[in-house]
């Protein structure tokens, strides 16, 4: 049974989501590297990102506050915490490590965790699930944007454009286990070998997170 969380706790969740998100954004700025990248035609103006994420982080915080009412060990709250970690990991990976490919892996896992949260919350806390709908739409758009940036700026990694998407994930079956491996490619022009080594754990974490969400969604489909 879902208990009603306290109102003071809402402040904590808003500080974690909105405060943490804005702090990470302020300390991992796009800078000259991002400004020099080739951009797709559908990229929004830069001024839109800050207000959009501010609103979304508020919605995320409220959803997290409500999901905490289901218990800190509940599937709903664990999915909320997972997406929060992935959300916070994206900006440092892309804007500080300059890893568009690793960022794509993270945002794919983020999108999967958001959709899993909506699916679980739809039965347990409909309002929390609805709060994540605009978040899912924005991250879906951001995923397409990240994909386009990889396509335009990482030709060695993606020589065939969008048709190379299946190369990002390698699927192998081992009993009932699904293993996902992120491919980094060779000779990334803007990152360098040191950044590739630093981002390797991020690839692994994103792969495991995406695997967890896929397992969860597949399990729900069998019910």
3-class secondary structure for the chain?
CCCCCCHHHHHHHHHHHHHHHHHHHHHCCCHHHHHCCCCCCCCCCHHHHHHHHHHHHHHHHHHHHHHHCCCCCCHHHHHHHHHHHHHHHHHHHHHHCCCHHHHHHHHHHHHHHHHHHHHHHHHHCHHHHHHCHHHHHHHHHHHHHHHHHHHHHCCCCCCCHHHHHHHCEEEEEECCEEEEEECCCCCCCCCHHHHHHHHHHHHHHHHHHHHHHHHHHHHHHHC
Residue 70 scores a pLDDT above 90: no
**pLDDT bucket at 4, cuts 50 / 70 / 90:** low
The pTM assigned to this predicted structure is 0.72
* Of 179 and 9, more confident: 9
Pairwise CA distance, residues 211 & 104, whole Å: 15
Closest C-alpha to 191, from 112, 118, 96, 116:
96
Closest C-alpha to 164, from 104, 206, 218:
104
pLDDT of residue 154: 80
pLDDT of residue 195: 40
Residue 83 scores a pLDDT above 80: yes
Residue 71 scores a pLDDT above 60: yes
pLDDT of residue 7: 84
Range among 99-113, 175-189, 203-217 rated most confident: 99-113
Residue 204 scores a pLDDT above 90: no
Cβ–Cβ under 8 Å, residues 121 and 98: no
């Amino acid at each position: 049974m879902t208990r009603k969380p306290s109102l003071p706790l809402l402040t904590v969740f808003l500080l974690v989501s909105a405060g943490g998100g804005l702090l990470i954004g302020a300390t991992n700025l796009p800078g000259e590297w991002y400004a020099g990248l080739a951009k797709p035609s559908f990229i929004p103006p830069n001024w839109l990102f800050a207000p959009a994420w501010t609103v979304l982080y508020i919605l995320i915080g409220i959803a997290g506050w409500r999901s905490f009412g289901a218990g800190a060990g509940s599937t709903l709250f664990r999915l909320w915490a997972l997406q929060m970690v992935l959300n916070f990991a994206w900006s440092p990976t892309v804007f500080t490590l300059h890893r568009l490919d690793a960022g794509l892996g993270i945002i794919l896992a983020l999108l999967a965790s958001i959709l899993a949260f909506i699916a679980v919350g739809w039965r347990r806390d409909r309002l929390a699930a609805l709060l994540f709908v605009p978040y899912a739409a924005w991250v879906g758009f951001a995923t397409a944007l990240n994909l386009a940036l990889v396509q335009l700026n990482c030709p060695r990694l993606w020589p065939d454009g969008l048709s190379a998407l299946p190369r990002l994930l390698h699927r192998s079956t081992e009993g009932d286990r699904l293993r996902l491996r992120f491919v980094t490619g060779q000779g990334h022009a803007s990152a360098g070998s040191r950044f590739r080594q630093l981002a390797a754990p991020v690839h692994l974490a994103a792969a495991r997170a995406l695997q967890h969400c896929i397992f969860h969604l597949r399990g729900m489909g069998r019910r």
